[in-house]
Structure 1
Amino acid sequence: MRQIRIYNQVFRVEKTVYSMQGVHLPFPVSYRQMAFFVGALFIMILLNKFPPISWIDLFLVKFIAIPVLVAWFFTRKTLDGKAPHRFLLRYLEHFFAAHHFARYRELEHPHRSGYQYAHDIAYRKTTRGES
């Protein structure tokens, strides 16, 4: 079997924002990073009323630093060679899936407990330890 090389990733350039409303940003930001920042900011706003987030009194930490760290982590780091959000989704999918597979197909009777023998079983009783 031959492998055919595909160069789609080479031509897929991530779009980047350099300025917003005429104000230049200190560093270029991709749309993906902006999406993670806005998502984390929205979650922080929702969780602002509940402890332990409500115990943090620093506005910049709560609404700037944490979303920036989340955006940086989810766009720059990899877990097991995958993006962190995809790794977490696959982990949860594996955790909640049936764990009885053979050749990537689910087994017919995964809930059968114990072993079942079709024939008579011969065994020998020993008398060790008895005097």
Structure 2
Amino acid sequence: MRQIRVYNQVFRIEKTVYSIQGIHLPQPVSYRQLAFFVGTLLVMIILNAFPPMNMIDLFLVKFIGIPFLVAWFFTRKTLDGKAPHRFIIRYLEHRLNSQHFARYKNLEKQANKYQYDGVVAYRKCSGGDPF
């Protein structure tokens, strides 16, 4: 079997923003990071109208800290080898799906729970608290 090398990733350069309206950013930001930051900022603005978020007076934490952490997490970390937002979507899709598959075949749900028969061995601690 012959392996064919593909160099698609080499030519896929992520676009970055270096300044906004002439104000230079301390670090270049990708469009993806900027989108997560702005999206989270809009969610925080909407949530600020409802309790308990409107009771928190920490402006920098609500409108800069949380969007920054969300943008960092969703662009830098992976869960199970996937981007976090894709992992969450697939997890919710799996939980909401009524069918379960194994090797692409539908599994029937068991009505009975497993019941174990046999003797369980254990030791009693002499004297008060075991910890």
Q: Is the structural similarity TM-score above 0.5?
A: yes
The whole-number CA distance in structure 1 between the counterparts of 2:99 and 2:5 is 34
How far 1:6 moved relative to its partner?
A: 2.2
2:46 aligned with 1:46: yes
Cross-structure match for 1:118 = none
The whole-number CA distance in structure 1 between the counterparts of 2:4 and 2:95 is 34
What are the residue-to-residue correspondences of 1:42-121 with 2, within 5 Å?
A: 42-106=42-106, 110=108
**What amino acid is aligned across from residue 96 of structure 1 in structure 2?**
L
**What amino acid is aligned across from residue 83 of structure 2 in structure 1?**
A
Residue-pair matches, total: 112
The whole-number CA distance in structure 1 between the counterparts of 2:24 and 2:83 is 29
What are the residue-to-residue correspondences of 1:26-45 with 2, within 5 Å?
A: 26-45=26-45
The whole-number CA distance in structure 2 between the counterparts of 1:65 and 1:113 is 48
Identity fraction in percent: 73
How far 1:2 moved relative to its partner?
A: 5.0
Aligned-pair RMSD on alpha carbons?
Answer: 2.0
| Residues 59 and 103 (structure 1), Cα distance of their counterparts in 2 relative to 1, 3 Å cut | same
Cross-structure match for 1:16 = 16
Cross-structure match for 1:126 = none
| Residues 26 and 106 (structure 1), Cα distance of their counterparts in 2 relative to 1, 3 Å cut | same
TM (norm. structure 1) is: 0.75
Cross-structure match for 1:124 = none
Q: Unaligned 5+ residue runs, structure 1?
A: 115-131
Q: Which has the larger radius of gyration?
A: 1
**What amino acid is aligned across from residue 67 of structure 1 in structure 2?**
P
After superposition, give the CA deviation of every residue in 1:47-92 in whole Å (9 maximum; x if it has no partner): 1122221221011111111111111111111111111101101111
